[in-house]
Amino acid sequence: MAKRIQISQHGGPEVLQLVDIDLADPAAHEVQIENKAIGINYIDTYFRSGLYAPASMPSGLGTEAAGVVSKVGSAVTVLKPGDRVVYAQSTLGAYSERHNVDANKVALLPDAISFEQAAAAFLKGLTVHYLLRQTYEVQPDEVFLFHAAAGGVGLIACQWAKALGAHLIGTVGSAEKARLAKDSGAWATINYREEDIAQRVSELTDGKKVRVVYDSVGKDTWEASLDCLQRRGLMVSFGNSSGPVSGVNLAILNQKGSLYVTRPSLFGYITNREELQLASSELFSLIASGAINVDVPEQQKFALADAQQAHKTLESRGTQGSSLLIP
């Protein structure tokens, strides 16, 4: 038996229920992991609300956690019981005491990195890796715009940009979040509640604007993001925290300077163990060196049974950086 958070219908945080499940032994290519810390990500709210639909109901939630391998499937050779590991692309169900995960989705965790650091950083860090290193390879001294800079992904992006010697302009919703982003390495911040984003980007770049915008907000910032781009610039839309971008007239890309747009996801960049190893090695190196700090405030660590409150806090935009469930 294992306890897990489960949903039987879509809705608000109230649909999250703590239940007991009979967990089967791992399949041939799976490992069973005793979770020590579980990552909470905004995408989890999409599955809960119905924006993204689980394959079937009832369903578990969450795809990211760190812990210890307790059992291995018959075909698994790269992992063994007792290994410290982290994963971020599992089937839904990581909000659980134990979870069966495809072994190719699991990375060995260096001793220098704690379970809490790993669960707080893995999905978000792999996301920043594909954004800044693959979707568009940000160069030293390059200026670019990154929305929600004080969120979990954003704070890692601020630190990664600083490590690359690049200049990240981050949008934030308060003076406190501006301070947090600047302390994490943002070159400049824009308070979207008080400032015009496109106008401020133009001022910060002496009218040159930027070659790339990374936007996880979606509907509310779509057009402002396009207005921040140079001719033939790239709009990277990788999230929907304000709602999805829909009904787009593609002619707007022509009108605003023959722009490019992409809607990437981690699953398009990490498709096998080799790609996972490449991205996780760079992320772990930056965490171990101290270039990226992912320590989680105590008030953003929730017991597994308190998943409802964790989601309420996340959706209120009252969090800074990453949040965790602790089984």
- CATH number, domain with residue 69: 3.90.180.10
**223 and 311 fall within a common domain:** no
Rounded to an integer, what distance in angstroms lies between the CA atom of residue 250 and that of residue 232?
Answer: 14
**89 and 147 fall within a common domain:** no
**224 and 277 fall within a common domain:** no
| pLDDT higher than 80, residue 240 | no
CB 40 within 8 A of CB 310: yes
| pLDDT higher than 80, residue 319 | no
Is residue 274 situated within a structural domain? yes
**205 and 102 fall within a common domain:** no
Instruction: Report the chain's mean pLDDT, rounded to a whole number.
Output: 94
Is residue 79 situated within a structural domain? yes
Rounded to an integer, what distance in angstroms lies between the CA atom of residue 180 and that of residue 199?
Answer: 23
- Residue 252 is part of which domain span? 140-264
**15 and 102 fall within a common domain:** yes
Is residue 20 situated within a structural domain? yes
| pLDDT higher than 90, residue 245 | no
pLDDT of residue 149: 95
Query: Into how many domains does the chain fold?
Result: 2
**74 and 177 fall within a common domain:** no
Instruction: Write down which residue in 214, 237, 264 finishes a domain.
Output: 264
Per residue in 163-217, pLDDT tens? Answer: 999 999 999 999 999 999 999 999 999 999 999 999 999 999 999 999 999 999 8
Instruction: Write down which residue in 210, 232, 264 finishes a domain.
Output: 264
**19 and 104 fall within a common domain:** yes
Q: Across the strands, what pairs with 215?
A: 237
Per residue in 254-288, pLDDT tens? Answer: 999 999 999 999 999 999 999 999 999 999 999 99
pTM, two decimals, is 0.89
Mean pLDDT, range 114-141, rounded to an integer? 96
Is residue 201 situated within a structural domain? yes
Cα dist. 8→120, 138, 303, 306 in Å? 27, 42, 21, 17
Is residue 128 situated within a structural domain? no
**258 and 282 fall within a common domain:** no
pLDDT of residue 327: 95
Is residue 127 situated within a structural domain? no
**89 and 168 fall within a common domain:** no
User: pLDDT-derived band of residue 301, with 50, 70 and 90 as boundaries?
Assistant: very high
Instruction: Write down which residue in 218, 247, 264 finishes a domain.
Output: 264
**318 and 234 fall within a common domain:** no
**256 and 275 fall within a common domain:** no
The residue type found at 131 is L
**162 and 247 fall within a common domain:** yes
The residue type found at 318 is G
**pLDDT more than 90, % of the chain:** 87
The residue with greater pLDDT, 244 or 201, is: 201
- CATH number, domain with residue 233: 3.40.50.720
- The token pair that represents 39 in the structure block: 């990552």
Is residue 226 situated within a structural domain? yes
CB 122 within 8 A of CB 292: no
- For 35-39, 180-184, 190-194, 245-249, which range has the lowest pLDDT when averaged over its residues? 245-249
